[in-house]
């Protein structure tokens, strides 16, 4: 078999056979196919697409290109969640303890972030002492004793996806629905959970810019999950504005704790409750209305917050910084951002906001860069709220060079639209369920 012929075939719009897809994934994993040919194939797929069968085969081969996490040492149905990524997304820190508090184990592997802000692992590491690098035995033991554990990706999980994703990232071929679906689902399948809830983000701060594309991505991933025997549900949620008021690592930990305490921003609370309810539903805890009630009660009774503290303690984190979030590391400097005019916040460009936070030090520009955990943005007034010209409506934080404030503030103000008229109605938060 020759890679040249496979690229040629896909370039001309023909479907690839299972053997050809296996050949590509094998050659990608063992390094026998050069990057330029893999990149050319990614571009051909970007334009010609993959049919559902090709997408399922690619997912399966990538999932089996490395280690498979064995969660058989954990009793009961194991639920996982995955977000396609957005700005201010701190849902895992809220959802995992809610689900665990309702008796469903959560054994979760999360990623670090490139660009914008940190990933869940970075956010958790901003809690002093918190360790995300546990051995497989420690990981299983923690899930069995606490009910929830969140670690960084360890071992050699879906190495073919890792290689292809890195190539797609630099060849403008990320935004392909079958490639995104295969990439995400290969890692989820390798991570071993029985049930997967997907949070497919749509809007200015997400990969999927239109509802139609988000629905197609959600349907593709659900089909793949069900085809390999993993119960899968996808929620389509709005990412036209950052999620919640906080963007940046310790700021987001604080907001996650407030949400677990029952006084987080309402849209963040709603999304977390829905995601948790769907995980409980997949685990057989009842119909979705009942599961929603369970999730709500876990917050109201303090059970979810207690579970989060248990998880933090078990992973070496300083629980006193959760009991009193003023003890979390704080930025050495901040700048007040004043509203340029009277009016209402009618739009917040999530992507620009993420870039402004990254500029303050909250994200990495390149793999391995250090993150300033304390850096970020806090909205005192959010989407739909009224602001007074000349008065503070947001704060920027950094512990880095204060010169960063100028550029970050310029970009941040570009991200926010203030209009004389209020929004006709609040934007819908949950746009669909597949």
Q: Which of 123, 168, 230, 273 is catalytic?
A: 168
- Catalytic residue status for 82: yes
Among 114, 174, 228, 303, binds ligand URA (CB under 6 A): 174
Q: Which two tokens stand for residue 119?
A: 């990933």
Q: At its nearest, how many Å lie between ligand URA and the CB of residue 192? A: 17
Residue nearest to ligand URA (CB): 183
Q: How many residues bind ligand URA (CB under 6 A)?
A: 7
- Catalytic residue status for 51: no
121 sits near ligand URA (criterion: CB under 6 A): no
Nearer to ligand URA, 108 or 307 (CB): 108
Distance CA 396, CA 405 (A): 7
Exposed/middle/buried for residue 195 (C-beta within 10 Å: 0-12, 13-18, 19+): buried
Rounded to a whole number, what is the largest CA-CA distance in the chain? 67
- Catalytic residue status for 204: no
Per-residue binding letters, 72-91, with ligand URA (x by CB under 6 A): ------------x-------
Among 25, 95, 98, 184, binds ligand URA (CB under 6 A): 184
Report the first-to-last Cα separation within the chain, whole angstroms. Answer: 38
Among 65, 183, 315, 325, binds ligand URA (CB under 6 A): 183
CB burial readout 372-404, b (16+ within 10 A) else e: bbbbbbbbebbbeeebeeeeebbbbbbbbeeeb
208 sits near ligand URA (criterion: CB under 6 A): no
- Catalytic residue status for 168: yes
Distance CA 208, CA 139 (A): 33
Among 180, 233, 271, 353, binds ligand URA (CB under 6 A): 180
Residue 384 phi/psi, 5-degree rounding, is 90, -15
Distance CA 382, CA 137 (A): 43
Residue 176 DSSP class? -
Q: At its nearest, how many Å lie between ligand URA and the CB of residue 371? A: 19
Nearer to ligand URA, 84 or 142 (CB): 84
Distance CA 9, CA 422 (A): 53
Residues binding ligand URA (CB under 6 A): 84, 165, 174, 179-180, 183-184
Catalytic positions are 82, 161, 168, 183, 187
């Amino acid at each position: 078999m020759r890679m040249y012929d496979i690229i040629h075939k896909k370039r001309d719009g023909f479907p690839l056979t299972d053997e050809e897809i296996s050949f590509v994934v094998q050659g990608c994993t063992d390094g026998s196919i050069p990057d330029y040919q893999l990149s050319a194939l990614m571009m051909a797929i970007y334009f010609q697409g993959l049919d559902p069968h090709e997408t399922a085969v690619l997912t399966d081969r990538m999932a089996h290109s490395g280690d498979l996490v064995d969660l058989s040492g954990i009793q009961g149905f194991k639920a996982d969640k995955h977000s396609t990524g957005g700005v201010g997304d701190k849902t895992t820190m809220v959802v995992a303890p809610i689900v665990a508090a309702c008796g469903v184990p959560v054994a979760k592997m999360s990623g670090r972030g490139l660009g914008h802000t940190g990933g869940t692992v970075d956010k958790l590491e901003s809690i002093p002492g918190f360790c995300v690098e546990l051995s497989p035995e420690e990981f299983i033991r923690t899930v069995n004793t606490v009910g929830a554990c969140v670690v960084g990706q360890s071992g050699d999980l879906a190495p073919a996806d890792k290689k292809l994703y890195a190539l797609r990232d630099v060849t403008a071929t990320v935004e392909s629905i079958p490639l995104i679906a295969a990439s995400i689902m290969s890692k989820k399948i390798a991570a071993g959970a029985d049930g997967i809830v997907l949070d497919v983000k749509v809007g200015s701060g997400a990969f999927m810019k239109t509802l139609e594309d988000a629905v197609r991505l959600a349907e593709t991933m659900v089909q793949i999950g069900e085809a390999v025997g993993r119960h899968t549900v996808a929620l389509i949620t709005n990412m036209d504005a950052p999620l919640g008021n906080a963007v940046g690592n310790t700021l987001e930990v604080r907001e996650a704790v407030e949400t677990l305490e029952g006084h987080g921003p309402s849209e963040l609370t709603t999304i977390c409750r829905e995601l948790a309810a769907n995980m409980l539903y997949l685990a057989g805890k009842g119909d979705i209305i009942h599961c929603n009630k369970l999730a709500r009660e876990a917050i109201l009774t303090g059970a979810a917050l207690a579970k989060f503290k248990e998880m933090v303690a078990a992973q070496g984190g300083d629980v006193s910084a959760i009991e009193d979030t003023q003890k979390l590391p704080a930025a050495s400097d901040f700048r007040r951002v004043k509203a340029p005019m009277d009016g209402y916040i009618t739009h917040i460009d999530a992507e620009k906001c993420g870039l402004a936070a990254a500029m303050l030090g909250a994200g990495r520009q390149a793999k391995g860069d250090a993150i300033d955990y304390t850096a970020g943005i806090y909205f005192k007034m959010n989407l739909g709220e009224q602001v007074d010209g000349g008065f503070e409506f947001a704060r920027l934080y950094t512990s880095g060079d204060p010169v960063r404030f100028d550029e970050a503030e310029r970009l941040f103000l570009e991200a926010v639209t203030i209009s004389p008229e209020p929004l006709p109605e609040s934007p819908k938060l949950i746009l669909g369920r597949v």
